């Protein structure tokens, strides 16, 4: 099982979703089932909380959520210490500005001017660090924050000009 304490010895034992769901349903029985999907690290935190505190899934989920929010806060605080522009770009994308031009307009309307090269470097850095994802539709590049915890944190950031 994914959250078992025994080490995995074969690649086939890792992340077999169907088998894991069947094991989880068998273990939980007819009780309410909480299904997590998302960042592997968050799932590992949840698994650790279940292992440490027993099968109280709601408490484990709550504790994992608090810990995940703390990790996101620390990572974004580290980014902001390097440049506030990271925060401006993340906030723009969190509010649904997907294209470069929208992100730039949002930043300039709310925080002041930003050079094209600076914004381009910031967006590329956020993609490399997996804060942002890129997708293409009809050759138009769009940016998004796939992690809901990160997105929620970015929406609530209070950034100074």
| Residue 99, pLDDT score | 97
- How many other CB atoms are found less than 10 A from the CB of residue 23? 15
Tokens of 72: 């996101």
Helix or strand or coil: residue 143? strand
Q: How far is CA 86 from CA 16, 17, 66, in A?
A: 36, 35, 23
10-residue stretch averages of pLDDT, the chain, 161 residues long: 58 64 67 56 81 82 87 94 96 97 96 96 96 93 92 91 60
Write down the number of H helices and E strands in the chain: 7, 2
CA distance 98 to 109: 16
| Residue 48, pLDDT score | 83
Q: Is the pTM of this model over 0.75?
A: no
């Amino acid at each position: 099982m994914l959250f078992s304490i025994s080490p995995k010895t074969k690649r086939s034992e890792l992340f077999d979703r169907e088998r894991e769901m069947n094991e989880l349903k068998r273990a939980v029985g007819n009780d309410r089932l909480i299904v997590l999907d998302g960042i592997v690290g968050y799932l590992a935190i949840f698994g650790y909380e279940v292992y440490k505190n027993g099968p109280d899934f709601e408490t484990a989920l709550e504790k994992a959520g608090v810990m995940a929010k703390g990790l996101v806060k620390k990572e974004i605080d580290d980014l902001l210490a390097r440049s506030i522009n990271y925060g401006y770009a993340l906030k723009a994308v969190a509010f649904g500005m997907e294209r470069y031009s929208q992100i730039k307009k949002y930043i300039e309307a709310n925080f002041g001017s930003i050079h094209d090269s600076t914004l381009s470097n910031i967006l590329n850095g956020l993609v490399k660090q997996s804060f942002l994802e890129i997708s293409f539709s009809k050759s138009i590049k769009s940016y998004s924050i796939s992690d809901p915890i990160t997105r929620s944190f970015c929406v609530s950031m209070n950034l100074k000009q």
